[in-house]
Amino acid sequence: MICVYAPSCTDFSTNGSGPVCPQSATVSETLNGEWELTLVHPLDEAGKWRRLVEGCILRAPVPASVTPRVSMSIQGEDTRTQIYRVNTDVAAANVRGGTLRLRSGLGNGYKVLKQYKNGTEMQLVSKTSSSWYEVILPDGKRGYMSTTFIEYVRTEGSLTAAAQTV
């Protein structure tokens, strides 16, 4: 459903001035994640076309857009990525507020870079020791986390493997 709102509207939880019924509507993504809507609306008997005035705001459903994580690789190189997540629901957990600290080095004596909530996923960089792994978090921060409080989730395939299945 495509709804029309006044140019000064800030609350889009209602149907605004009301919905319109276009013959066709095309939504396309433009630069910087913005969307462009092109529609063709008939001069209908109900007068819904009158809602479409210059400056009005249209709310239209758009497809979910997810920026893919791209990893370039040399032919034959194994680029599979292991994904882990924070798990503070373990008997040995003595962590603050259900969060786990990302540290600048291997051990509790190193600087805390940031804390992450239970369930946060991360990409494994290397298994530096049996008790500390080097990881990259979704916000781009890179550091070390205790293996006591992270658990393996899945392995994501390489670009070459994905291309072979297409």
Going by pLDDT thresholds of 50, 70 and 90, the confidence category of residue 121 is confident
The correct CATH number of 81-160 out of 1.20.1090.10, 2.30.30.40, 3.50.30.10, 3.30.70.270 is 2.30.30.40
pLDDT (0 to 100) of residue 64: 59
How many residues comprise the chain? 166
Mean pLDDT across the stretch 113-120? 87
Beta bridge partners of 25: 39
**Contact between 80 and 90 (Cβ < 8 Å):** no
152: CB partners within 8 A, 6+ apart: 82, 83, 84
Torsional sign, CA 55, 57, 58, 62: positive
10 vs 91, residue with greater confidence: 10
pLDDT (tens digit, 9 = 90+) per residue, 21-79? 888 888 777 766 677 888 888 888 888 888 888 888 888 876 655 455 555 555 555 56
Burial (Cβ within 10 Å: 0-12, 13-18, ≥19) of residue 100: buried
pLDDT (tens digit, 9 = 90+) per residue, 83-112? 777 776 655 445 555 678 899 998 889 999
A 10 A CB-CB count for 86 gives 24
Average pLDDT, the chain: 77
pTM for the model = 0.45
pLDDT (0 to 100) of residue 128: 84
Say if residue 6's pLDDT is above 70: yes
Task: State the Cα–Cα distance between residues 134 and 78, nearest whole angstrom.
Answer: 18
Annotated domain spans of the chain: 2-59, 81-160
